[in-house]
Chains A and B, each alone.
Chain A
Amino acid sequence: MRAARSMKWAATAAAIAVAATACGSGDNSDSDENKPDGYVSIFHGEPQRALLPSNTNESFGGYVVENVFSTLVDYNEKGKLQNANAESVETDDSKTWTIKLKKGWKFHNGEDVTAESYVKAWNWYANVKNNQSNSAWFEQIKGYEDVHPEKGDPKKDEMEGLKVVDDHTFTVELSERVSYFNYMLGYSTFAPVPEAFYKDPKAFGQKPIGNGPYKFEKWNHNKLIQVAAWDGYKGSDKPKNKGIQFKNYSTIEGAYQDVLSGNLDAADQVGPKDRPKRKQDFGNRSIDKPYAGNTTIAPAFYAKPFKDVDPKVIQGLSMAIDRDTITKTVLDGTAVPAKSFVPANVEGFEALDTDVLSYNPKKAKQLIKEGGGVPGNKIWIQFNADGGHKEWITSVCDSIRKAAGVECLADSKPSFETDLKERDADNVKGTYRAGWLGDYPLNINFLRDLYRTGADANYGRFSDKEVDGLFKDGDKAADLDAAVKDYQKAEDKLLQEMPAIPLWDMTASIVHSEHVKNVKANWDGHILLRDVIAK
């Protein structure tokens, strides 16, 4: 029996050893990932692509790019337009724009930022041969078809609309009037690149050299991206910290725990698991701020339930959704019920004077009845399962089913890829989840790109001549204010046509540790990194 006893002892010892190591964990012993003094670490994920202004259009890559590069203009935290690298952006007719640069600006490698840095970069970005995802942003510039023809090789290397006047001045001629072109210029794809870029764009994307407040330091794939505050930055908004560490987490929950234990300084998202506890965990270090993004469900006007539908039916469905309860329960205060097709903190927002966006089961049923009902009395909401939408979609469907008596089914696609494929191919069965994050904080961005006939993101294939006309008036307007007004007029018309059911504006949930202060949300929901102060 001795042998047996000693084996038992061995097993117990092993179990204790396992338990002991479990207790003793929590150390963060990785020299490579240590944070230098004065740096601020924030939650991040691995960017899907190399860090190029013209090829980055997802959130994680964009966050780094917009801090390493500076554009001509940018927006303050309220979404107001202000000059950055530009001294002035002026136009008389909304067609030809004269851009003057501030003098003395340099790239991180010491090269001067000149008019040529912009013009050459834009020509390169737009060129079809370079396969940049954001090339379409340049399509309004005269001569775009020459560098980016629909078929075949480019005829020219340069767009004729871009002209360098002197070292610090250039002009942009557009093929048609665009009254809000200056607003678009704040999007990071309009950032300049230094000469070094053209030698090896691929290598550049791994080690970008920008003209922004932060200088790129290193990118340890799947671990972190580190940038340092740059002494040579000439902008007014100089960083108040020594640098930023963008730390990669595969789950938001992991980041949350690290902020709680002080291993991470801040996160601009809170996972569903921790949402209900965030105030309790962080007190006033948990900040909620609505930003320029909203969520809608858009009917597919080619699909059976919505073909030639009377808009009253869609208005009815809208009134069957209990936005207040849903934003309070499953969304836990991370969204604010919508008041219009445009989020509230965007330039040009105007609360619509209507009850279509409020919960009213009785009127919902009545409107649907008046409109002739939904064919088959059944709708679907298509969404991607990898985006964390499932819970609120289920709630919205429950609400519609209960209040309107219309069967509503969640149509889950495993990934955003498959979701988009169905939308591209006009295969949406009923409606789809549509979320829009502003490229620039202006109401036009939330209307023109979504509801114009043939617009890129108009997957519901909504088309209305009157709306298109009002949009066009806005584009051709003499100045920005007039354009914004025209688009507001179009919005009133949209309410009658219901190309989408606005649900809510998105709210950034930021939590931060005791090691940092002055944490604020930017207009896009990201943390305003330059202002964070490390204690």
Chain B
Amino acid sequence: MGRYVARRLLQMIPVFIGSTALIFCAMYALPGDPVRTMMGEKSYDPAQIANIKADLGLDLPLWHQYWNYLTGLFQGDFGTQIASGRPVSEVIADALPVTIQLTLYSFAIIVVVGIALGLLGGLRADTWVDRVLLVFTMLLISIPVFVLGYIFQYFFAFELQWVTPTVQSSDSWGQLTLPAVVLAGLSLAYVVRLTRTSVAENLRSDFVRTAVAKGLPRRRVVGIHLMRNSLIPVVTFLGTELGALLAGAVVTEGIFNVHGIGNVIYQSLMRLEGATVVGVVSLIVILYLATSLIVDLLYAVLDPRIRYA
């Protein structure tokens, strides 16, 4: 087990370096010059721009900048924002809690509602309940997130006036409900379908039949035998989901005016704040790598047949 983890961690290093380098290169290939833009449309002095760039290390060759960035990163230094002069880590630390709150909220909705509906569909496979669920999930998958966001905004805020169209204070659970539901939508549909397929399949399996034959109460069969086995693919999906939800927040946060990481990344991209974009993406990549490792380890817990040397 320990050796397996060590090997996986080693494999992560090139992947991490590669992903960040890729984004880094793309960001520095961006047209437009953020330092120049600071000067507005008014007159500016090229010498002064050169000074500012030298201070920020933006005048170095690309590989050198990347090296500086990487070494900084290992010391916990995410770099400095060009325009505001604030450390990127501070900017991220300001926005991250909000996004984590939003993401966890979504995640909870996905897990609770998704698995519940999936189980319902699986246990009643090929009945009308199942069919209704199928149509429901297909619709959810088909509607792009931003469309769903605007439709919800239109109905719940403008028409029904249950909620304000945008979030006024980003750390209020109540106000985050609408964005959390929208963010959850697509994944929720996948989890429902995944659970449904898996449950329906396992329901026909030998071990369930054996358990039923043994005379175990149905609740125990479903709760222990069926669920435990059916949740393996769901867990895989959910594991990698957390990072993806963070990325999906770009759209949702924009629609609902949530001051989170998604907004930060969109603004930074528009303002060509390279260090900030790379910082956030690195964070998401790390999160993704970590969750995929945890998921693989969880396998061993859920499925005793899998053993890691």
Indicate whether A and B interact: yes
The CA of A250 and the CA of B271, in the complex, are separated in Å by 14
Of the residues B55, B124, B174, contact of A24 by C-beta under 8 Å: B174
A131 touches B32 (CB 8 A): no
A415 touches B270 (CB 8 A): yes
**Could you say which of A165-173, A255-263, A318-326 contacts chain B?**
A255-263
Q: How many residues of B contact A (CB 8 A)?
A: 66
Once A251-B166, A417-B270 are accepted as A-B contacts, the answer to whether A128 and B51 lie under 8 Å apart by CB is: yes
**Could you say which of A9-17, A88-96, A344-352 contacts chain B?**
A9-17
- B113 lies within 8 A of chain A by Cβ: yes
Instruction: Return chain B residues, CB-CB under 8 Å to A48.
Output: 38, 83-84, 271
A22 touches B174 (CB 8 A): yes
Name the distance in Å between A254's Cβ and chain B's nearest Cβ: 4
Of the residues B30, B31, B116, B223, contact of A10 by C-beta under 8 Å: B116
Q: Which of B256-309 contact A (CB under 8 A)?
A: 257, 259, 263, 267, 270-272
Majority SS at the chain B contact face = helix
Name the distance in Å between A245's Cβ and chain B's nearest Cβ: 13
Closest B residue by C-beta to A129 = B51
Closest B residue by C-beta to A55 = B38
Once A11-B117, A221-B94 are accepted as A-B contacts, the answer to whether A21 and B257 lie under 8 Å apart by CB is: no
- A464 lies within 8 A of chain B by Cβ: no
Q: How large is the interface on A (under 10, 10 to 19, 20 to 34, 35 or more residues)?
A: 35 or more
**Could you say which of A28-36, A75-83, A404-412, A473-481 contacts chain B?**
A28-36
Of the residues A248, A415, A420, contact of B36 by C-beta under 8 Å: A420
A4 touches B123 (CB 8 A): yes
Q: Which of A128-165 contact B (CB under 8 A)?
A: 128-129, 131, 133-136, 139, 148, 150-152
The CA of A261 and the CA of B166, in the complex, are separated in Å by 12
A131 touches B223 (CB 8 A): no
The CA of A139 and the CA of B34, in the complex, are separated in Å by 24
Name the distance in Å between A529's Cβ and chain B's nearest Cβ: 22
Task: Rank and list the top 7 A-B pairs by shortest CB-CB distance, nearest first.
Answer: A25-B174, A456-B43, A417-B32, A254-B166, A11-B116, A254-B257, A421-B32
Q: List 6 A-B contacts (CB under 8 A).
A: A22-B177, A57-B40, A253-B257, A415-B272, A420-B41, A456-B44
Interface residues of B (CB under 8 A from A): 30-34, 36-45, 47-48, 51-52, 55, 83-86, 90-91, 94-95, 109, 112-113, 116-117, 119-120, 123-124, 156, 162-169, 171-175, 177-178, 181, 218-219, 222-223, 254, 257, 259, 263, 267, 270-272
Interface residues of A (CB under 8 A from B): 1-4, 7-8, 10-11, 14-15, 18, 21-30, 33, 47-50, 57-58, 128-129, 131, 133-136, 139, 148, 150-152, 202, 205, 221-223, 248-251, 253-254, 257-258, 261, 263, 386, 414-422, 424, 436, 449, 456-457
Give 8 new A-B contacts, CB below 8 A, not counting A18-B113, A261-B164, A424-B36.
A8-B116, A21-B173, A49-B84, A57-B40, A133-B40, A133-B42, A254-B166, A418-B30
